[in-house]
Amino acid sequence: MIKAVQHLRLKGALLALALVPGLALADANLAYHLAPATNYPGSDYLSERARFLDDARRAIAGLFDNLPSGYTVSNLPAGEYIINFRIMGNYYTPSSVAVTIENEHFTNTALYQPFSNSFTIVVEDDHSNALDAAWSLLSWPANFTNSFAWLEQGTNGVGEEFFEAIPTGTYT
């Protein structure tokens, strides 16, 4: 899971659309913090993190739609604002947030979570002397929303094998 956290230090809000501007002025700061993604191996996570930081810098649309992480917007008028989050490929988009700014401190946390699924492989056998069941699960990058191959295989006796954080895609 990649987590983007927006800290909007208000005395103002990092805004997308001003609805009712007031007279008081304020500052707003936006920073992104990422947590490791469970479905990315080490080097893949570093590549994804770099791509995400580059794209997430444009996560606020409207009046300020290209703000890098840590950028401070100064002298915002008090009022009501809507914070919109940029749609990013392969991630669920956080819902828009409406905020009222009146020279106060405000923190907003938004979670960009990769599209993922979970499933269970069940091996059933009525014969106590049967050989272990062999299985494999394979996807090719062309069928993936997350654009990298994924392979899992094993030999299990009777029972279940549970998988989490599997990218949406076509498997065989």
- The tokens of 2 are what? 């990649």
Can you give the pTM of this predicted structure? Answer: 0.40
Task: Pick the closest to residue 80 from 13, 150, 139 (CA basis).
Answer: 13
Q: Is the pLDDT assigned to residue 59 strictly greater than 50? A: no
Residues 91 and 125 in one domain: no
Residue 132 lies in a domain: yes
Residues 134 and 62 in one domain: no
Q: How far apart are CA 140 and CA 118, in angstroms?
A: 18
- The three-class DSSP label of residue 141 is helix
Parallel, antiparallel, or unpaired for β 97-101 and 133-139? Answer: unpaired
Residue 72 pLDDT level (bands cut at 50, 70, 90):
low
**pLDDT at res. 67:** 57
Residues 108 and 124 in one domain: no
